[in-house]
Amino acid sequence: MSQIHSSAIIEDGAKLGNNVSVGPFAYIGAQVSIGDNTTIASHAVIEGKTTIGKNNRIFSHAAVGTIPQDLKFNGEEVELIIGDNNTIREFTLLNPGTQGGGAITKMGNNNLLMGYVHLGHDVIMGDNCILANGATLAGHVELGNHVVIGGLTPVHQFVHIGDYVMIGGASAVTQDIPPYCLAEGNRARVRGLNLTGLRRNMERADINELKSVYKNIFEQGKPMQEVAKEILETTNSEKAKNFCTFILASKRGIPFTRNTKNEDR
C-alpha cells in the first residue's frame, strides 16, 4: 500500500506502484510512472514523461524530468528513464533527452548520485556508478558501468567514459576516457589504470592483461589507434578488446601524456 502525504500533489494520470512513499509537498506530474517500493522525499519534483523503476530513493528537493536546458528545445515529446535501486540525493537535477539527441536520457541500476549532481539531456549512464557531490554531466555524455566521478567535476558534452573509470575530484573532463583508467586534472588526463577499482572487481590475470595493453598503447611511442588495431587482431581477452575498441571509436580523442618509461602500473 502506497503512503502519500496529504500535502503532496499527484496529477491525474500518474502511475504509482505498490508501496510507494511520497513525502510532504512533493509534486508528481501526469506522465510520471514510479515503480514499487520507491521513496519520494519532501519537496521533490518529478515532471515530464519520466519512468522510474523499483526500489529507488529520491531525496528532498531533487528535480527529476524537468525540461532540458537546451535553447533548441521547443516542447517536443522527450523522456527520462531511471532503472532500479538508485539513490538520488538532495538538489540533484535530471533532465530528459532532446529531439536532436535521441529524445531519451537514461540511467541504469544501482547508481548513487550525491547532492547537486546534474545529468544533462541525452545522457546515457550504465549501472553501479557513483557521482560525488557537484559532479555535472553535460548533454550527450555516455558513462559505462562502475564509473566513479569525484566531486565538483564537470564533464563536457559528447564525452564518453568507459567501464570502471575513476575520475579525480575537481577535474574537468573534455575528452574520452578509456575503460579501466584513472584520470584527473584540469583538463583531465589519463594517469594510469584504476587499479583499486580493478582489484575489487577482477581476477589478477585480467588485471595483468590490462596492464600489458595499457603499456603497449600509451608507452610504445606508436599511434594509439595503430597499436589498438594490432592488439585486437591477436588478443582473446574481452577486456582488452573493450579497451581497444573504445579507443578506435573515440571521436573526442584520448587525453594522455606519453610515458616511455617501463613503469609498473
> What are the catalytic residues?
121-122, 139
**DSSP state, residue 250:** -
Query: What residue type is 144 in one-letter code?
Result: G
User: Going by C-beta distance under 8 Å and a sequence separation of 6 or more, which residues neighbour residue 204?
Assistant: none
Instruction: Give the chain's end-to-end CA distance (angstroms, integer).
Output: 53
What DSSP letter does each residue of 201-233 carry, written as one string? HS-HHHHHHHHHHHHHHHHSSS-HHHHHHHHHH
What DSSP letter does each residue of 34-68 carry, written as one string? E-TT-EE-TT-EE-SEEEE-SS-EE-TT-EESPPP
With beta carbons less than 8 A apart as the criterion, state whether 23 and 44 touch. Answer: yes
How are beta strands 33-34 and 136-137 bridged, if at all? unpaired
Rounded CA-CA distance 73/68 in Å is 7
The number of angstroms, rounded, from the C-alpha of 121 to the middle of its chain's C-alpha atoms is 12
The number of angstroms, rounded, from the C-alpha of 183 to the middle of its chain's C-alpha atoms is 15
